[in-house]
Amino acid sequence: MRPISALSILVISVGISTFTLGQSVAGAGSSSLAASSIRSVGEPAKGVLANDYVIGADDTLAINVWKEPDLCRTVPVRPDGKITLPLIGDVQASGKTPRKLQQDIQESLTAFVAVPDVTVIVQEVKSLKFNIVGEVVKPGSYPLTESTTVLDAIALAGGLGEFAKGNSIYVLRIRSDGSPQRLPFRYKQVLKGNNLSQNGQLQAHDTVVVP
C-alpha cells in the first residue's frame, strides 16, 4: 500500500471544506427562498385586474388577513355597496379600488390586531354589465367580463326578434358628465362587412336598444 502524503491529506481536507461550505450556502439560499415564498402570501396580490379597477355591487371579494385565519372571508358586495367583516362590521366597498379598501380595513383592524396585513382580491367581477332591450329573443342584463361587441351582445341575447328594425339599432352610453350618447349600429351593413367601426366594444352600463 502506498503511503498517503501530506499534500494528498491537504487536498482532501480542502475538498471536504469546500463541499461543506457549498452545502451551507445552498441551505441558506433555500431557507431564504422558503421564507420569501411564505411571506409573499400576506403581500398584496397582483391580479389580472387593472390597479384602478373600482369595486361594484355583486362583485365577490376575498379578504385575507396575514396570520389571522378567523378574520379571512370571501364575501359578496351587497346591493348597498357594503361587506360585513368580523370585528369591524360593515365596510363600504363599492366605489373603491381594492388597494383603497385594503387600506381602510387595515386602519379599522388596528384596534384589534397589532399590525394587520390585509389583502383584498376581486375573485369575481359581476358589477360590470351591459343591457340589451327591445326586439331580441332574450332581453336583459348580461355580465361584461370580457371584450364584447354589439354583435356579440345581440348573439348573447339570442339574436334579433322577428320585427326588429336592424338599421335602427343604437347603443345608449352615459358620458362621464352624465349626458347621454347614442351610437348608431346598422345591423345588415355590419354583417356585410361595411361600417365595421360601428361594431365597437361595449362599455360597462351600456344599453343596446333594438327597436
User: By mean pLDDT, which of 18-22, 48-52, 135-139, 204-208 is the weakest?
Assistant: 18-22
Residue type, 138: K
Average pLDDT (201-210) is 95
Contact call for residues 171 and 150 (beta carbons, < 8 A) = yes
Phi, psi of 147 (to 5 degrees): -60, 125
> How distant is the alpha carbon of residue 189 from its chain centre?
36
* Nine-digit cell string for 102: 385594503
Indicate the domain borders of the chain.
60-124, 129-210
Which carries the bigger pLDDT value, residue 29 or residue 63? 63
Which carries the bigger pLDDT value, residue 2 or residue 74? 74
Q: Specify which residues 73 forms β-bridges with.
A: 63
Give the Cα separation of 53 and 99 in Å (integer). 10
Burial degree of 79 (CB within 10 A; 0-12, 13-18, 19+): exposed
Q: Is the pLDDT of residue 100 over 50?
A: yes
Say if strands 129-134 and 207-210 run parallel, antiparallel, or are unpaired: parallel
Fold of 129-210: Outer membrane lipoprotein wza fold like (3.10.560)
- Looking at domain 60-124, its CATH architecture is 2-Layer Sandwich (3.30)
Contact call for residues 208 and 131 (beta carbons, < 8 A) = yes
Q: What is the pLDDT of residues 158-185, one digit of tens each?
A: 999 999 999 999 999 999 898 999 999 9
